[in-house]
Chain A
């Protein structure tokens, strides 16, 4: 095949955003996607925050096939047979510039691939890349299903596992500590039922996170997002911490237990299960890659570890989209000088550093150490639920003063070495 400007490994958000921005600049771009169409191998919780993307993809997202505008946020701490829910809503979520939407990736990425084609980019499905083409240590293209495809720049956008960032020598295998597995079910329900059940206006949605005893002490938690006519629900489980949990329980069994909890069961009652999926999520990713560029190569999105778990908010998709756009900017500049070496493509990292991506990742660089603390999953939710249970419970005997119950609880939970250490640790988020 003739040499082209850019070949992109993977038609997910990072790859497609890069292709879209390149095609807009009239740069030749070919996206190789191993699935039947972009999105057919992708999974999200999930929700996407739109505001960080405005400078990068201003016009695109207005017409995108998103699910529901998130106007309700909820977090539930799960004890063994009890739970405590915080729910938040704000008119601010309804401002004209949208804040966050729930999203289904098969639908969204397929649509996005079509927009890339509209702009003159090529998205070729059912094509798996098998090797990188190298010349004197430089990446000069890819091999796909036996065919050599030479290119000035290769964009690695193959997701969290990123076998190709490894092949390029930019990172090692994904360590269990830096990976979580997300498992999810999509449950079909009538839009009106969703709106009534969650107390939502038409077109509006809810994002609900759960943590506590549901992961048996492992780092992670549950999630539930309302889509237009489905509900996405599942678990995210930190792999290293899961493997240390005794006795071991299968991931799929944890999901079943989560669904059987009354706090969750009533949301999906009468719904029809229409899909079961799983995907890896990078955690604490900045440490994964020495640098997201090399000679003739750039790494974007999950493949570069651009994802952030801040405990109550989990982000990745907007990082993938924005990093794809920045990679396109770096390629455009390199093309002007004809220099595709690592030192020229290093401009990509400058752009990342000036943007929310590396700034947020720097601000929250220690968040993994905070959020993987086992006490967050096996002590505090149970502790809080026990205090509340005592407060609400009226038994046969005389009742203790509420202030005494609270004070005893605080002493047990926070005014001791482990508790104070945890409070001190929280300053890092």
Chain B
């Protein structure tokens, strides 16, 4: 099962604005791309036309592993505003 179908089972209340900001000027020189592998939701991807790093913030499980894994400080990472984001029913 791909991560997107699994995320579809979770309860999300998504904000209009992203809680993760990507500093593209740092990412464009990154060779490792750890974020593509560490994210349990598989939410990071590369735009093939522009080479920019993209994040589907709406499916974020808020674990913060991308922030810990990024060696260059390219992510400005916050929790979503109160009452937004994933709402676990089991946890």
Contacts and interface: CB of A to CB of B under 8 A. Distances in A.
A41 B62 contact: yes
Contacts of A21: none
Contacts of A43: 88, 91
Interface stretch (A194-202, A243-251, A356-364, A369-377): A243-251
8 contacts: A35-B83, A36-B83, A41-B87, A183-B63, A239-B69, A252-B40, A273-B9, A275-B91
A276 B10 contact: yes
Interface residues of A, number: 53
Interface of A: 34-36, 39-44, 104-107, 109, 125-128, 144-145, 160-161, 163, 173-176, 179, 181-183, 185-186, 230, 232, 239, 242-243, 248-252, 255-256, 273-280
Given A232-B90, A275-B9, 20 more contacts: A34-B82, A35-B83, A35-B87, A36-B13, A39-B91, A106-B88, A106-B89, A128-B82, A185-B6, A250-B42, A251-B37, A251-B38, A252-B40, A252-B42, A274-B89, A276-B9, A276-B61, A277-B61, A277-B91, A278-B41
Q: How large is the interface on B (under 10, 10 to 19, 20 to 34, 35 or more residues)?
A: 35 or more
Contacts of A40: 87-89, 91
| Contact residues of B: prevailing secondary structure | loop
Contacts, number: 146
Q: Which 6 A-B pairs have the closest CB atoms?
A: A126-B83, A106-B91, A105-B91, A276-B6, A128-B82, A278-B40
Interface of B: 1-3, 6-7, 9-10, 13, 32, 34, 36-42, 61-65, 67-69, 78-83, 85-91
B68 A239 contact: yes
Given A34-B79, A243-B32, A278 B69 contact: no
Contacts of B42: 250, 252
Contacts of B7: 276
